[in-house]
């Protein structure tokens, strides 16, 4: 086999691993509930593919090949353990499947069930996103740990604990009943959005960890939309993330300098992504059920409109934030609301909104201090602005944001 | 529980110490320190003089060895330490990520060992 053929095999394995990972893990674990075993088996199957495919050439259906290999690994592992009583049903189940003379290239897509399992109310909410990233996208614990700023060892342990709970805790792999669905779907959407990075674009703080994962989160939302095409909030979430993603090239100057949204050059925004976001938002609005993500997306849509009109309709943004705060106020949204009020020439009211937030809650919340500093500056309260800038700078993680704020402080 | 942030700094960061104090790195440190104090997590800590001013001593087989400079020969060098009172390692990592040295050098987080101290100091 020539070098280029081998390269092709490696590329195919990479592609199949990325596109089919979640589908295969979901299918392998939907009856056994054993995510760890499914992941181990799939890793082994991928390793086998690396040695088997180059001499034999690519199988007709790489996905079916991996599934067969992984299934054998699960059976071998269960046999090896000899924990007969506990594993008997598992073994039987997998045997039955393997007995099929031919593995169909069409196997049911169980990823939706897997997404609901990852965001199950019995699982610590802080682990919803890490579980999704690992089981649906195949990210390793070390990378997930970096994203969430947790020690890799701790993240590994927490993932193992969560999977043990899923296996032994009677958590069902199923689509929730219609009565539970809205709440359960919310948890799934929250987890996907958390992967995207909290408060990505509407405030001054940029989260470098979120940027790293933006594409994966969009991928997850696309999968979810494909599986649940009639849920307005799913379209809303995808629209929101696409709007933010469209601005990625404009977020930094040539010298790496931080550029706030209102000063970004709209010519650098990705028009195809904006158009796609608008299509999803429009689709969502047809349901007549505005929700958190649709409203957040609508705010971003107003910002995107500046590319055409050259203006930002701050009054509209203020209204969207008011609707948002009626649904569920969060620290980020209240801060965003204050920022919008300030831009809509209602600075005094904006300050009152910020002052009403509990001081302990914002003690280490960077965007609050950045907005507060900007606001105090525009109100001519120099001394207080300087102090708020200090806190915003001290809490910033991104050095480009830090430098941007230091410069603004210097111009006071 | 208490954590030490061990601050490893780049040569550029050490050089910034000779500035007039208006450079971004020094400004960032001033704000970071203030945020630690105002959030009520700061216990103590200090910067150290640059590594080339260090003197390292080792006694091997009864022979004294004295070396100018730091113990470890690495690009980033220990530039100081900060002790923080925090509820968890996760919280300590959050604060470490905000440390200006994390963007240009590295910040190592270690929990203080009060039990070992007790064994030694009683």
Say whether A390 and B31 touch across the interface (CB within 8 A): yes
Q: Exposure pattern of A30-47 as b/e (b: 16+ CB <10 Å)?
A: bebbbbbbbbebbbbbbe
Q: Residue B111 forms beta bridges with which residues?
A: B3
- Write out chain B residues lying below 8 Å of A364, CB-based: 35, 39, 94
Kindly state whether A395 is in contact with chain B, defined as any CB-CB distance less than 8 angstroms.
Answer: yes
Q: Which two tokens stand for residue A6?
A: 């081998």
- Write out chain A residues lying below 8 Å of B102, CB-based: 397
User: Quick one: pLDDT at residue A212?
Assistant: 56
User: Quick one: pLDDT at residue A101?
Assistant: 37
Kindly state whether A390 is in contact with chain B, defined as any CB-CB distance less than 8 angstroms.
Answer: yes
Give the Cβ contact number of residue A375 at 10 Å. 24
Q: Scanning every residue of chain A, which has its alpha carbon at the shortest distance from the alpha carbon of B104?
A: A399
User: Quick one: pLDDT at residue A93?
Assistant: 60
Kindly state whether B26 is in contact with chain A, defined as any CB-CB distance less than 8 angstroms.
Answer: no
Conformation bin of residue A99: beta by default, left when phi > 0, alpha when psi is -120 to 50: alpha
Say whether A391 and B104 touch across the interface (CB within 8 A): no
Q: Which two tokens stand for residue A214?
A: 């933006």
User: Quick one: pLDDT at residue A90?
Assistant: 61
In degrees and rounded to multiples of 5, residue A121 shows phi and psi of -60, -20
Say whether B90 and A403 touch across the interface (CB within 8 A): no
Contact in structure between A70 and A28 (CB atoms under 8 Å): yes
Give the 3-state secondary structure of A252-281. Answer: ECCCCCECCHHHCCHHHCCHHHHHHHHHHH
- Write out chain A residues lying below 8 Å of B98, CB-based: 394-397
Regions of chain B with pLDDT less than 50: none
Say whether A406 and B28 touch across the interface (CB within 8 A): yes
Q: Scanning every residue of chain B, which has its alpha carbon at the shortest distance from the alpha carbon of A362?
A: B39
User: Quick one: pLDDT at residue A306?
Assistant: 96
Q: How far is the C-alpha of A10 from the C-alpha of A281, rounded, in Å?
A: 38
Q: Scanning every residue of chain A, which has its alpha carbon at the shortest distance from the alpha carbon of B22?
A: A410
- Domains of chain B: residue spans and CATH: 2-121 (3.30.70.1060)
Q: How far is the C-alpha of A288 from the C-alpha of A294, rounded, in Å?
A: 11
Give the Cβ contact number of residue A22 at 10 Å. 23
Q: How far is the C-alpha of A170 from the C-alpha of A121, rounded, in Å?
A: 12
If we measure between CA atoms, which residue out of A138, A134, A132 comes closest to residue A117?
A132
Mean per-residue pLDDT pooled into runs of 10, chain A (412 residues): 73 82 92 91 91 85 90 80 57 54 64 94 94 89 84 94 94 90 92 73 40 77 91 96 92 88 94 97 94 96 96 96 92 94 95 95 93 96 96 93 94 90
Residues 6+ apart with CB under 8 A from A383: none
- Write out chain B residues lying below 8 Å of A363, CB-based: 38-39
Q: Is A353 exposed, middle or buried (0-12, 13-18, 19+ CB in 10 A)?
A: buried
* Interchain CB contacts (distance < 8 Å): A and B: 61
Q: Scanning every residue of chain A, which has its alpha carbon at the shortest distance from the alpha carbon of B103?
A: A399
Residues 6+ apart with CB under 8 A from A40: A73, A77
- Write out chain B residues lying below 8 Å of A403, CB-based: 24
Candidate from A154, A391, A392 with C-beta closest to B38: A391
- Residue A171 distance to chain B (closest CA, Å): 28
């Amino acid at each position: 086999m020539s070098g280029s053929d081998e390269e092709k095999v490696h590329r195919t394995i990479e592609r199949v691993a990325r596109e089919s990972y979640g589908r295969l893990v979901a299918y392998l674990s939907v009856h056994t509930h054993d995510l760890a075993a499914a992941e181990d088996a799939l890793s082994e199957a991928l390793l086998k593919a690396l040695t088997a495919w180059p001499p034999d050439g690519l199988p007709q259906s790489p996905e079916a090949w991996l599934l067969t290999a992984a299934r054998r690994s699960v059976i071998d592992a269960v046999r090896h353990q000899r924990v007969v009583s506990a594993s008997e049903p598992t073994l039987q189940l997998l045997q039955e499947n393997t007995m099929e003379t031919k593995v169909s290239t069409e196997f049911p897509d169980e990823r939706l069930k897997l997404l609901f399992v990852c965001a199950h109310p019995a699982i610590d909410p802080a682990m919803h996103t890490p579980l999704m990233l690992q089981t649906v996208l195949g990210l390793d614990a070390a990378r997930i740990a970096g994203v969430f700023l947790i020690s890799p060892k701790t993240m590994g342990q927490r993932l193992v604990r969560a999977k043990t709970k899923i296996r032994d805790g009677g958590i069902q792999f199923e689509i929730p009943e219609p009565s539970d669905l809205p709440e359960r779907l919310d948890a799934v959407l929250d987890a996907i959005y958390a992967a995207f990075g909290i408060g990505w674009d509407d405030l001054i703080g940029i989260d470098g960890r979120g940027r790293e994962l933006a594409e994966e989160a969009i991928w997850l939302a696309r999968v979810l939309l494909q599986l649940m095409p009639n849920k307005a909030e799913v379209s809303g979430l995808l629209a929101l993330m696409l709007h933010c993603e469209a601005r990625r090239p404009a977020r930094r100057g040539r010298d790496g300098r931080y550029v706030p949204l209102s000063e970004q050059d709209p010519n650098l925004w990705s028009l195809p992504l904006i158009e796609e976001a608008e299509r999803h938002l429009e689709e969502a609005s047809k349901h007549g059920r505005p929700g958190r993500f649709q409203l957040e997306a609508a705010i971003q849509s107003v910002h995107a409109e500046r590319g055409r009109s050259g203006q930002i309709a701050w009054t509209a943004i203020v209204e969207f934030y008011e609707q948002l705060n009626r649904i569920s106020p969060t620290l980020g949204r209240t801060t965003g609301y204050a920022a919008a009020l300030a831009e809509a020439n209602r600075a005094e009211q904006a300050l009152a909104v910020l002052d009403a937030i509990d001081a302990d809650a914002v003690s280490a919340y960077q965007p609050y201090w950045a907005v507060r500093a900007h606001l105090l500056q525009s109100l001519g309260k120099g001394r207080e602005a300087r102090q708020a800038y200090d806190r915003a700078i001290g809490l910033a993680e991104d050095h480009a944001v830090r430098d941007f704020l230091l410069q603004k402080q210097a111009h006071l | 529980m208490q954590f030490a942030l061990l601050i490893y700094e780049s040569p550029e960061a050490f050089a910034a110490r000779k500035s007039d104090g208006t450079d971004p790195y020094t400004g960032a440190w001033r704000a970071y320190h203030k945020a630690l104090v105002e959030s009520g997590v700061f216990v103590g800590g200090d910067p150290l003089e640059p590594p080339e001013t260090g003197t390292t001593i080792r006694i091997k087989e009864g022979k004294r060895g004295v070396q100018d400079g730091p113990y470890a020969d690495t690009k980033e060098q220990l530039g100081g330490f900060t002790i923080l009172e925090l509820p968890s390692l996760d919280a300590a990592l959050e604060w470490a990520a905000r440390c200006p040295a994390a963007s240009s050098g590295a910040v190592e987080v270690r929990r203080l060992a009060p039990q070992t101290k007790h064994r030694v100091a009683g």
